[in-house]
Amino acid sequence: MKVLVTGGAGFIGSHLSESLLEMGHEVFIIDNLWTGKLSNIARIQNHERLHLVVDNILNESVMNELVFKADHIYHLAAAVGVRNIMDHPVETIEVNVQGTEAVLRLANRFKKKVLIASTSEIYGNHLDHTLSEDDNRIMGSVKKRRWAYACSKTLDEFLALAYYDEKKLPVVICRLFNTVGPRQTGQYGMVLPNFVQCALFGKPITVYGDGTQTRSFTHVYDVIWALSRIMEEPRAEGEIFNIGNDHEVSIEDLARKVKEMTGSESEIEYIPYEKAYGPGFEDMQRRCPNIEKAKNLIGYEPSRDLENIIQSVIDYFKE
């Protein structure tokens, strides 16, 4: 099978591309290298079944040819990372909305199946329970720049489901919850690689806010397993799936765990959000998925616990 991965030189995209090649597929990657890196695909760059295009997904002539060749499309290209989103709000909205519209429009032209990689940010600021796919969204003010990313990805989902309902385009949506692992950097505000790098270098481990906010972390290998299985499942078409880990940890406890596992002497510092990101930032206190839907369809079950996940990131940076 011929598979197109947009954002295929990114953190998740590079792991997915490797996995698809191991499964025997011919893989086409398009990435503009804004947040993706050639080093992420160094192991596969010369593979006989890999084709790399360094370009923007908004280049319609290039995308038209790639979509035409592909049987399946994994659309992972997007603006990512809290820091990136706060610093580049215009690009965030343009890339996420216009890019997804372009992918869906061309996929519909040739009736190619598409998986849209969405985000747990869709849910907004829920507090009281694990998040299910049909839950309402709780968004902050449009004055809070933090929510631009969530709203752009929400529009992506609306558009994808509209193509499914109106145009009968085979589409599936996966909402990813804090995917972490080797190759992820802290450059754009990702918390775990930031903590690990600071701990290894003996720098202060910086916790934003009071550290009581919780997250649930999923290893990238579990995520790409789920994405490829859901893409192959006809019953998933027109549906939305949470892909994550339903075990929560506070950011404060995560910092302590990283410090312990690295044997670091780093201090844990607490910095207000305003100082870290400037005005227009608002965080969510809790973000934990209900994963029953994916579990029931494909037998999805995260295979790596928090210690295993942290250790894989430590090992990566030590290398």
- Positions marked catalytic: 149
Q: Would you say 183 and 14 are in contact if contact means Cβ atoms under 8 Å apart?
A: yes
Non-local (6+) Cβ contacts of 9 within 8 A are: 29, 31, 33, 36, 37, 38, 40, 41, 52
Q: Would you say 26 and 2 are in contact if contact means Cβ atoms under 8 Å apart?
A: yes
Q: What residues are paired with 269 via a beta bridge?
A: 206
Q: How far apart are CA 298 and CA 294, in angstroms?
A: 6
> What is the end-to-end Cα distance of the chain in Å, rounded?
34
Query: How is residue 8 annotated by DSSP?
Result: T
H or E segment to which residue 22 belongs = helix 11-22
Residue found under tokens 């494909």: 298
Angle at 228 between CA 226 and CA 232, to 5 degrees: 115
Beta strands in the chain (DSSP E): 2-6, 26-31, 50-54, 72-75, 113-119, 171-176, 179-180, 205-208, 214-215, 218-219, 240-243, 249-250, 268-271
Non-local (6+) Cβ contacts of 249 within 8 A are: 214, 215, 216, 217, 257, 306
Q: How far apart are CA 275 and CA 96, in angstroms?
A: 27
Q: How far apart are CA 220 and CA 17, in angstroms?
A: 12
